[in-house]
Structure 1
Amino acid sequence: MTGFSAAVPWIGMAAAVLTTICWLPQAVRLIRYKDTRAISLWTNLTFIAGLVCWLTYGIALADWPLIGANAVSIVFTSVIIAMKLRYG
């Protein structure tokens, strides 16, 4: 592998970690304060549908960064959706 092609897996892992952990503060804040007024249910439902598609795609390719990142993101987004449904 040459310079950039050797970095591609690391770039993918960095992208997976960053786009996954970005939801953690939102989920923690919702659990702590139970204030969901600014959260869009439809946006999060659409997002989780996309995550399920990405997870399925990752499983089909046996791509562990895709599988791991999307599985964890599904958990975080599920918490956000559950909090929105419970607290409005």
Structure 2
Amino acid sequence: MSQSLMVEALGGLAALFTTLCWLPQVVKVIRDRDTSSLSLTTFATLVTGLAFWLAYGVAIQSWPIIIANSLTLALNATILAVKLRYG
């Protein structure tokens, strides 16, 4: 396996794990509707940052960045929406 392919695989695995790590939190937040222990400022800032990462990925036409940040943005925007709705 070439070094370039290994680096891309490493990046892909990093993106997969850092994206999927939010799935249990989203399921819990939706199921329990309890976001009292979650910081609104943190999630608002995170969602904003992810939107910028997505825009960056689109600007440089990097599919790994676009896919990873689209999914992570969707998951965290869901958490933020539940936080805004249920406090």
Give your verdict on TM over 0.5. yes
For the aligned residue pairs, the C-alpha RMSD in angstroms reads: 1.3
Whole-Å separation in 2 of the counterparts to 1:39 and 1:69: 23
Whole-Å separation in 2 of the counterparts to 1:28 and 1:6: 34
Identical amino acids, percent of aligned pairs: 47
1:20-50 deviation per Cα after TM superposition (whole angstroms, max 9, x unaligned): 1111111100000111111111000110111
What residue ranges of structure 2 are gaps of 5+ in the alignment? none
1:43-63 deviation per Cα after TM superposition (whole angstroms, max 9, x unaligned): 001101110111111111111
**TM-score normalised by L of structure 2:** 0.93
Amino acid across the alignment from 1:75: A
For 1:37, the equivalent position in structure 2 comes to 36
**TM superposition shift of 1:69:** 0.6
**TM superposition shift of 1:16:** 0.9
For 1:47, the equivalent position in structure 2 comes to 46
Whole-Å separation in 1 of the counterparts to 2:37 and 2:11: 31
SS in 2 for 1:26: helix
What residue ranges of structure 1 are gaps of 5+ in the alignment? none
**TM-score normalised by L of structure 1:** 0.92
Whole-Å separation in 1 of the counterparts to 2:22 and 2:40: 15
Deviating above 2 A after TM superposition, structure 1's stretches of 4 or more consecutive aligned residues are none
For 1:12, the equivalent position in structure 2 comes to 11
For 1:28, the equivalent position in structure 2 comes to 27
For 2:82, the equivalent position in structure 1 comes to 83
For 1:69, the equivalent position in structure 2 comes to 68
Count, aligned residues: 87
**TM superposition shift of 1:5:** 3.3
